[in-house]
Amino acid sequence: MFLHRHKVILFNSRLLNSGLLALLAIPFIWPSVVLADTGSNQWGQSWSGGSSYGRSIVRKWAIPPAKGFPTLSKSNIAPLQAAIKYYETIVARGGWRPMPMVQLRPGMRHSSVAPLRQHLELTHDLAPSRRYSKRYDRYMQAAVKNFQRRHGLKVTGKIDRRTVMALDVTAEARLRQLRTNLSRLRTLTRSTAKKYVVVNIPAAQIEAIENDEVVSRHEAVVGKADRQTPVLRSRVHQINFNPYWTIPRSIIRKDLVPKARLYARSGKDILSEYRIDAYSGKGKLNPRTINWNSSAVYNYTYRQQPWKDNSLGFVKINFNNVHSVYMHDTPSKSLFARNFRAQSSGCVRVQNVKQLVSWLLESNQGWDFKRVSGFEQTGARQDVSLKKTVPVYFVYVTAWATKDGKVNFRRDVYGRDQVGATASAY
């Protein structure tokens, strides 16, 4: 028998014979199993051929993620150490069985339900049971939702390709991630401020933290694998409302010029369409005089005017750094509904940015959510310096545990954990 939050759970002989009982009896806090679900810029996106989304999916970007617990908390160290000990035991006993690439929906019967059940019981997403049906029932669905939530996947309760790929990351790889991130968190939590912003790159999420509590959590779009968002520490010092966007050299070379040449072949002018001004050393250029097939176009300066489809959206968050990156709004808000959000050229796009900016400007008298929102509506230009700068940390954390006992993993999007391609693939 096993005690689970003062409830007695009986195991049958099959569990006893498998040795799973001894493993599951290791003291560890179980996440609650619930049956109800809880809650590129536009022109750049068009260049990359981004896929479209249904209205029901797109609307989800407006729903803020649950606040949860802070990632960079000293209170996470002990739970992470406990998780490492538990995963060491899982590995010592052979880990979990791989899942075939199948799609499962509630009510379906399939032979893959057995290895799935074993995995979910080992990771404490599913309480052990005497039921060994091959049917994918509502209890399994609720457990899969827990698994998806802990791994930063879209919470659907369905077994899809990404969920199978996350399930197939081996216990050995997960253990190595836990150990690697314990070292990272020990370093990061030594010097966090009382009030700060953290961008967790692999999670593609942003947390506004005050007194070790999450004030707000925001989905983010971070850099692609070939245009990575850097790890950094700085302080937010300025907010730009309805800013101009000076296009970085890397985007000029990889995106603007190739796309402009395609436009030119069709007799179109990309600069006029996206309200971009081009400048040479002699001043502003007439778009009609630019020869996009010449090498000179790589040396021009390009600046996008403030408007509703400006690639920075209506607000930009500045902090000094050698990488010339920043956080900003975006007109392409459907990207926040994506499961995989490593889609930018290195800067970080912020979901529900108005809430974050309002919080950053708390030290500036007279600035609140209503005033910040007004700039989106009016398009007015203004730069505001923070009375009190706020620390910002861009971090790379792929595994952590919290005081409620949940062990969280995110895809190793840039391959820095060195645990194999599987942990980066989903």
Q: What is the distance between the alpha carbons of residues 384 and 330, in angstroms, rounded to a whole number? A: 19
Q: What is the distance between the alpha carbons of residues 344 and 178, in angstroms, rounded to a whole number? A: 27
- pTM for this model (two decimals): 0.84
Residue 123 lies in a domain: no
Would you call 151 helix, strand, or coil by DSSP?
coil
**Which one of 283, 304, 325 terminates a domain?**
304
Give me Rg for the CA atoms of the chain: 24
Encode the chain (426 residues) as per-residue pLDDT tens digits: 333 333 333 333 333 334 444 454 444 444 433 333 333 444 444 343 333 334 443 344 445 667 889 999 999 999 999 999 999 999 999 999 999 999 998 889 999 999 999 999 999 999 987 667 789 999 999 999 999 999 999 999 999 999 999 999 999 999 999 999 999 999 999 989 999 999 999 999 999 999 999 999 999 999 999 999 999 999 999 999 999 999 999 999 999 999 999 999 999 999 999 999 999 999 999 999 999 999 999 999 999 999 999 999 999 999 999 999 999 999 999 999 888 899 999 999 999 999 999 999 999 999 999 999 999 999 999 999 999 999 999 999 999 999 999 999 999 999 999 998 888 878
Q: Are 236 and 313 contained in the same domain?
A: yes
Residue 362 lies in a domain: yes
Q: Are 314 and 332 contained in the same domain?
A: yes
Residue 121 lies in a domain: no
Q: Are 233 and 363 contained in the same domain?
A: yes
Give bridge partners of residue 382 from the DSSP assignment. Answer: 241
Q: Are 209 and 351 contained in the same domain?
A: yes
* Burial (CB count within 10 angstroms: exposed 0-12, middle 13-18, buried 19+), residue 102: middle
Q: Are 239 and 251 contained in the same domain?
A: no
Residue 253 lies in a domain: yes
Residue 99 lies in a domain: no
Q: Are 327 and 287 contained in the same domain?
A: no
The residue range of the domain holding 251 is: 246-304
User: What pLDDT does residue 12 have?
Assistant: 36
User: What pLDDT does residue 33 have?
Assistant: 36
∠ CA 151-152-154 to the nearest 5 degrees? 115
Q: Which residue has the tokens 């590129």?
A: 40
Whether the CA torsion 413, 419, 420, 422 is positive or negative: it is negative
Q: Are 253 and 390 contained in the same domain?
A: no
Residue 115 lies in a domain: no
Q: What is the distance between the alpha carbons of residues 135 and 131, in angstroms, rounded to a whole number? A: 10
**Which one of 304, 331, 346 terminates a domain?**
304
User: What pLDDT does residue 369 have?
Assistant: 97
**Which one of 304, 328, 353 terminates a domain?**
304
Q: Are 202 and 322 contained in the same domain?
A: yes
Q: What is the distance between the alpha carbons of residues 247 and 304, in angstroms, rounded to a whole number? A: 7
Q: Are 362 and 348 contained in the same domain?
A: yes
Query: 387: domain CATH number?
Result: 2.40.440.10
Q: How far is CA 425 from the centre of its chain?
A: 15
Q: Are 290 and 339 contained in the same domain?
A: no
Q: Residue 417: name the closest of 207, 190, 202 by CA.
A: 202
Q: Are 258 and 361 contained in the same domain?
A: no
How many domains are contained in the chain?
2
User: What pLDDT does residue 129 have?
Assistant: 76
Q: What is the distance between the alpha carbons of residues 195 and 214, in angstroms, rounded to a whole number? A: 10
Q: Are 193 and 233 contained in the same domain?
A: yes
Residue 385 lies in a domain: yes
User: DSSP for 23-86?
Assistant: HHTS--PPPPP-SS----THHHHHHHTPPP--HHHHGGGGSPPP----SS-GGGHHHHHHHHHH
Contacts of 99 (CB under 8 A, 6+ apart): 112, 115, 116, 119, 159, 164, 167, 168
User: What pLDDT does residue 340 have?
Assistant: 87
Contacts of 420 (CB under 8 A, 6+ apart): 173
* Burial (CB count within 10 angstroms: exposed 0-12, middle 13-18, buried 19+), residue 423: buried
Residue 68 lies in a domain: no
